A and B are shown apart, each in its own frame.
Chain A
Amino acid sequence: MSKKKSDKENIIIELKNVHKHYQMGENIVKAVDGLSMKIKEGEFVAIMGPSGSGKSTCMNLVGSLDVPTNGSIFLDEEDISTLDESDLAQIRGKKIGFIFQSFNLIPNLTAKENVMIPMMFQGTDPFIREEVAEELLKLVDLSDRGNHYPNELSGGQRQRVAIARALANDPEVILADEPTGNLDTKTGNIVMEFLEKLNRQGKTIIMVTHEPDLAQSHADIVYWLRDGKLEKVTKKKNGKSHKEKLKEMKWR
Chain B
Amino acid sequence: MEHDAVQHAVQSGSKIQDLAWLVLFLPLLGSVMAWFITRRDRVLTTVFTLGTVILSFILSVTLFAVFGAASAECTPFQFLHIGDLKVDIGLHLDALSTLMLLVVTGVASLVMIFSTSYMHDDASYSRFFCTLGLFVFSMLGIVLANNFVMMFVFWELVGVSSYLLIGFWFERPAAGDAAKKAFLSNRLGDFGFILGILMVWSAVGSVNFQEIQASLIKNPAAMGVWAGLAGLLVFMGAMGKSAQFPLHVWLPDAMEGPTPVSALIHAATMVAAGVYMLCRVFFIYTVPAGWPPALSFLGDLSAATVVAWIGGITALLAALTAVQQNDIKRILAYSTLSQLGYMVMAVGLGASTGNPSASMFHLFTHAFFKAMLFLGAGSVIHACHHEQDIWRMGGLWKKMPVTFWTFAIGTAALAGLPPFSGFYSKDEILATALEANPILCGLAVLVACLTTFYMCRLVLVAFFGTTRTESAEHAHESPRSMTIPLMFLAVPSVVAGWFPVGEFIAGHFGVRSHEGVGRVVAQEGIGPMLTMILGGIDHALFAPFNHNALAAFLGLFGVLLGGSAAWALYWNQARDPLPGLFTNLSRAMRKKFYFDEIYDSVFIPIHDTVACIMAWFDRWIIDGLGVRGIHGTIEIVGRALRLVQTGNLQTYAFLFAAGVAFLAFIALQ
- Please determine whether chains A and B interact with each other in the same assembly: no
Please list the residues of chain A having a beta carbon within 8 angstroms of any beta carbon in chain B: none
